[in-house]
Structure 1
Amino acid sequence: MLGQLWAKSWDPKGKHCYVTGGSSGLGLAVAKLLVLKGAHVSVVSRNAQRLESAMKELETVRTSPNQVLKSYSYDLITATGAREALDAVCEPHQRRNPDAIFMLAGSCHPRFFIEETEETMKTQMDQTYWVQAWTALEASKRMVRDKSKGKIVFHSAYIGYITLIGYAAYGPGRMAIRALADTLRQEFLLYDIDIHIAFPGTMYTPGYDIENATKPKITLKIEETDPGVTGDQYAKGLLRGVQSGDFHISPDLLGNIFRASMRGVAPSSNFFVDSFWNFIGWVGLPIWRMTVDSTVKGHRKEHEEYLSNKGFYSSSNKSFSQ
């Protein structure tokens, strides 16, 4: 912590920043901020049409005609896709690695666990864990081989700290990405590579509407206490945390309580402030848990009717899914 107090803030100006999931939502919001700060920005997404629209937005905020702004369409849930995307992204920059990698691709499709299938379980792990892990693996190998410093920014969620009904397939990937980031923060002290990980809560982005399409009513009810933020609002807090050198980044009230209470051996952003958040969590989180448990138990009758109406109890139904 003391080292951070006197550390020089990271400046993205003139640096090459690679943003996955950069065609919409948080990814696009972060990409725009980086462009405004003078960075060269490469965005990657699967949706070519949204990428075209995103590039038009990035062009409107460029601060210099010398900034290199590029977009690429790749699927990053495989090691091959991650490698090919990095090859393409590095090409306009004399094949040098990006100075910072913001891994913000992914999606969430909450359901009750008994509604999941083999396909949906695998898809959620792909879109929460592997979509970041493969890029991190390929990028870090290149950084270490070239002895280049850099930043790798992971993206988790509140669910990376706590669990809620409805997130049985989504939560493990978010917790796994936290475990990966926690491990690499220590391991990459060997290489002078900085690791960061963000833990947002509710964000009002296009992905939020998709998420709510499958989200159980009981989950929506529990989440009513989270006021939520826009992608633009969270992007500012995320980038501020990266520039300050924070490891776990949760720039909002609930996120800070979860972070301070459940960060384990992760470094503290500020010992005194985190001690305050930890005390709030020590008092408040057990009460919150009991309230949530009570709400879930009160949902039993409605849930029984839901399962019955969906045909879950039918002996002929062997592949019940949402």
Structure 2
Amino acid sequence: MYQILYPAVATGALILFTSLMLGRFFSKSWDPKGKHCYVTGGSSGLGLATAKLLVSKGAHVSIVSRDAQRLENAMKELETVRTSPSQILRSYSYDLVTATGAREALDAVCEPYEGKNPDAIFMLAGSCHPRFFIEETEETMIHQMNQTYWVQAWTALEASKRMVRDKSKGKIIFHSAYIGYITLVGYAAYGPGRMALRALADTLRQEFLLYDIDVHIAFPGTMYTPGYDIENATKPKITLKIEETDPGVTGDQYAKGLLRGVQKGDFHISPDLLGNIFRASMRGVAPSGNFVVDSLWNFIGWVGLPIWRMTVDSTVKGHKKEHEEYLTSKGFLYNNGYLA
């Protein structure tokens, strides 16, 4: 992917640099210092990295996760980066894949603040278990939708009701992925939830203009977190091959880009090369962060993405024989090389 896009990127580098510098004079700035930030999935990975970053900037932070032991370890890490003894740092163990769980978690999180809703809600809980579609079951399909969509949608619903009821301004930050823009073999159960989050965020961005509630949604690519190892345990070989040229980042690195986008007031947040190309090429009617910069990203996508798609399609077709051998080893019935 990168080899295809390098020439176009090089020709637009000067325009991009100039536009970014100019954008600094007009960008918004949100300061988390003194704000109450609620981070779901805050016990590990991107959630923990974001929680630590917020604490280091003076925020009061509440983290929620299902794993009590991980939460205990996470709290120790948060304590090491606090900037003031007056910062309130708390953890809570809840399962957020149901409306009841999301409501109970927010009840607990708001209680130390006299019931007041958090100023910013970073919804970073979730997991990915890629497989070929024909390997999915009713259980795994439901699980992936719970972990990609409902684990955020229920929290957003409960939090927004409280914000509107109390007439309090705030921020709701969704967490999607590259797959929220594009599709790849292996993500048939994972991708729909990530794309559904984009549809939800796009809708709420407009609807919440009625209430002065800011909506953001992030689209990260590969992140080297504990969840990445779990993801790769079920990821098809062809998916790994397609993704092998894409550089990954750590949770700490992406957390900085995520928070920077929130502070600037960006709606779709994609703080890396490929993410920006996908965002600018496929954002539909979502607002542009910088018209000149996004026009450049869009041009690069217009040139490079069709070539990338053809390359990926060719790679998938070339995997057919190995895929047939894999399905045979898994016990699928065959008749002359075709599914019976």
Q: Deviations over 1:6-56 (max 9, x none)?
A: 464000000000000000000000000000000000000000000000000
In the other structure, the counterpart of 1:117 is: 137
User: Which amino acid counterpart does residue 228 of structure 2 have in structure 1?
Assistant: Y
- Name which of 175, 190, 193 aligns with 1:173: 193
- SS at structure 2 position matched to 1:43: strand
- Name which of 208, 220, 225 aligns with 2:228: 208
CA distance in 2, matches of 1:222, 1:54: 34
* 1:190 positional shift: 0.2
In the other structure, the counterpart of 1:105 is: 125
Q: Deviations over 1:128-156 (max 9, x none)?
A: 00000000000000000000000000000
User: Which amino acid counterpart does residue 69 of structure 1 have in structure 2?
Assistant: L
- Name which of 207, 229, 253 aligns with 2:273: 253
CA distance in 1, matches of 2:39, 2:158: 15
CA distance in 1, matches of 2:63, 2:290: 32
- Name which of 72, 80, 104 aligns with 2:100: 80
Q: Deviations over 1:187-244 (max 9, x none)?
A: 0000000000000000000000000000000000000121010000000000000000
In the other structure, the counterpart of 2:79 is: 59
CA distance in 2, matches of 1:258, 1:314: 38
Q: Structure 1 residues 147, 79: CA separation in 2 closer, same or farther (over 3 Å shift)?
A: same
Contact 1:30-1:236 within 8 A present in 2 as well: yes
Q: TM-score, length-normalised on structure 1?
A: 0.96
In the other structure, the counterpart of 1:12 is: 32
Q: Structure 1 residues 3, 202: CA separation in 2 closer, same or farther (over 3 Å shift)?
A: closer
Identical residues among aligned pairs (%): 89
Q: Deviations over 1:77-108 (max 9, x none)?
A: 00000000000000011110000000000000
Map 1:125-274 onto structure 2 (within 5 A).
125-274=145-294
- SS at structure 2 position matched to 1:61: coil
User: Which amino acid counterpart does residue 170 of structure 1 have in structure 2?
Assistant: Y
CA distance in 2, matches of 1:79, 1:98: 18
CA distance in 2, matches of 1:83, 1:163: 32
Correspondence 1:36 to 2:56:
yes
Contact 2:277-2:298 within 8 A present in 1 as well: yes
User: Which amino acid counterpart does residue 242 of structure 1 have in structure 2?
Assistant: V
In the other structure, the counterpart of 2:116 is: 96
- Name which of 299, 303, 315 aligns with 2:323: 303
Runs of 4+ aligned residues of structure 1 deviating over 3 Å after TM superposition are 2-8
User: Which amino acid counterpart does residue 127 of structure 1 have in structure 2?
Assistant: Q
Q: TM-score, length-normalised on structure 2?
A: 0.91
- SS at structure 2 position matched to 1:145: helix
CA distance in 2, matches of 1:253, 1:8: 22
CA distance in 1, matches of 2:88, 2:25: 32
- The gaps in structure 1 that reach 5 residues or longer are 316-322
In the other structure, the counterpart of 1:47 is: 67
Q: Structure 1 residues 243, 58: CA separation in 2 closer, same or farther (over 3 Å shift)?
A: same
Contact 2:23-2:290 within 8 A present in 1 as well: no
* 1:314 positional shift: 7.1
User: Which amino acid counterpart does residue 270 of structure 1 have in structure 2?
Assistant: N
Q: Deviations over 1:246-266 (max 9, x none)?
A: 000000000000000000000
- SS at structure 1 position matched to 2:322: helix
Q: Deviations over 1:294-320 (max 9, x none)?
A: 0000000000000001111179xxxxx
In the other structure, the counterpart of 1:69 is: 89
Contact 1:156-1:177 within 8 A present in 2 as well: yes
Contact 1:4-1:245 within 8 A present in 2 as well: no
CA distance in 1, matches of 2:46, 2:289: 23
Contact 1:4-1:244 within 8 A present in 2 as well: no
- The gaps in structure 2 that reach 5 residues or longer are 1-21, 336-340
In the other structure, the counterpart of 1:318 is: none
User: Which amino acid counterpart does residue 221 of structure 1 have in structure 2?
Assistant: K
Q: Structure 1 residues 313, 176: CA separation in 2 closer, same or farther (over 3 Å shift)?
A: same
Q: In angstroms, what is the RMSD of aligned CA positions?
A: 1.4
Q: Structure 1 residues 80, 4: CA separation in 2 closer, same or farther (over 3 Å shift)?
A: farther
In the other structure, the counterpart of 2:13 is: none
CA distance in 2, matches of 1:8, 1:214: 41
CA distance in 2, matches of 1:144, 1:90: 15
